[in-house]
Amino acid sequence: MLHQADFLFHGALNDFLPQTSRHTLLRYTFRDAPAVKDAIEAIGVPHPEVEVALVNDVPVTLLHPLRPHDQVALFPAGPEYTWPAGYALKARTPPEIKFVLDVHLGKLARLLRMLGFDTCYENHYADKTIARIAEQDNRMVLTRDVGLLKQKIIEWGHWLRSQQPGEQLAEVIHYYELAGKFRPFERCMACNGKITQVSKAAILDKLPPKTKMYFNEFFQCLCCKRIYWKGSHYERMQQFVVQLQQQ
DSSP string for residues in 182-206: --TTSB-TTT--BEEEE-HHHHGGG
Does 126 map to a domain? yes
pLDDT for 234 equals: 84
CB atoms within 10 A of CB 22: 13
CA torsion angle for 159, 161, 166, 172 (degrees, to 10)? -40
pLDDT for 80 equals: 84
Give the domain-ending residue among 177, 205, 220.
177
Does 89 map to a domain? no
Does 113 map to a domain? no
d(Cα 20, Cα 31) in Å, to the nearest integer? 25
Which residue type does 134 have?
A: A
Does 223 map to a domain? yes
pTM for the model stands at 0.92
140 alpha carbon, distance to own chain's centre: 5
Same domain flag for 136 and 199: no
Residues in the chain predicted with pLDDT less than 50, given as ranges, are none
Same domain flag for 201 and 164: no
pLDDT for 114 equals: 95
pLDDT for 58 equals: 96
Same domain flag for 24 and 72: yes
pLDDT for 95 equals: 92
Give the domain-ending residue among 177, 206, 225.
177
Does 42 map to a domain? yes
Does 9 map to a domain? yes
Does 84 map to a domain? no
Q: How many domains does the chain have?
A: 3
pLDDT for 144 equals: 96
d(Cα 58, Cα 126) in Å, to the nearest integer? 38
Q: Check which CATH number belongs to the domain holding 50 and give it.
A: 3.10.20.30
Identify which of 198, 171, 178, 167 has the alpha carbon closest to the alpha carbon of residue 115: 178
Q: Provide the domain limits for residue 67.
A: 3-76
d(Cα 62, Cα 66) in Å, to the nearest integer? 10
Does 188 map to a domain? no
